[in-house]
Structure 1
């Protein structure tokens, strides 16, 4: 018999008549603690850190090694019991604490925010400014900060 889990993040559910329910419940709370308003130390990175602190999280790279092997794109959570791995969902966002970037999972990879070049002068300043503003609006809309019309 397989253990029941939630459909989105595979959080463990309690089973009828289950002994030691606190273990399953605590596992679910540990995963929720890491995934709600997700914040990761860095990532994607392929190698686990040497001396992680309990509760720290990373986004695992696609060429993961060591304890992270085979866990590409997942969120690695360091707990008192070792590493836990949570699968990302399409549209999931995580703040990368190393630089403050808001990463977004597109269903296949973690994407950093889009960048755009600064205006570099030109003969027709008005058209260049309009182009930059249009690009800015598209990027803000892509991040869900506004709706472009």
Structure 2
């Protein structure tokens, strides 16, 4: 974690940024009036205080931006998009999965079971909404 200023960082808030990772969305430039503790994924192209920090997590702490470099497999919840994002050499969102449809043989019980599994995965946040 790297601070943007010379002030000390409150350890609890810094830990929260990584232990309970919720982002407000993506931003290539910081918002004019960020809320305390607000965290963003730095989008490309980044400018201003975010310049050179693409893909990092930026969190507004004690009137300064602190940054954390993501690691492979890291997940965050994007509050703005209501989806989980996963880092794998860049941030991504799981693609929606359609329920079974069509085909030469139709097995209604299998389709119902698959649809129920898909819906369960959506409700648990493991798949994005349809």
Task: Output the TM-score relative to the length of structure 2.
Answer: 0.70
Gaps spanning 5+ residues in structure 1: where? Answer: 1-9, 12-22
Q: Map of 1:2-21 to 2, 5 A cutoff?
A: 10=1
Q: Map of 1:132-143 to 2, 5 A cutoff?
A: 133=114
1:39 is the counterpart of 2:25: no
- Alignment partners' CA distance in 2, 1:47 and 1:120: 43
Partner of 1:110: 91
Question: How far does the alpha carbon of each residue in 1:120-148 deviate from its partner, in whole angstroms, 9 at most, with x for none?
Answer: 44553339x66x939x67xx6xx9x7xxx
**TM-aligned CA distance change 1:50 to 1:125, over 3 Å:** farther
Question: How far does the alpha carbon of each residue in 1:99-119 deviate from its partner, in whole angstroms, 9 at most, with x for none?
Answer: 32111111x101112212344
Deviates more, 1:112-121 or 1:64-73: 112-121
Partner of 1:60: 42
Structure with the bigger RCO (C-alpha within 8 Å, sep 6+) is 2
Specify which of 125, 128, 142 is matched with residue 106 of structure 2: 125
Point out the structure with the larger strand share: 2
What is the RMSD of the two structures over their aligned residues, measured on CA atoms?
3.0
- Alignment partners' CA distance in 1, 2:100 and 2:28: 36
- Alignment partners' CA distance in 2, 1:55 and 1:92: 19
Larger gyration radius, structure 1 or structure 2: 1
- Alignment partners' CA distance in 2, 1:118 and 1:133: 7
Partner of 1:84: 66
Runs of 4+ displaced beyond 2 Å: 26-30, 117-127
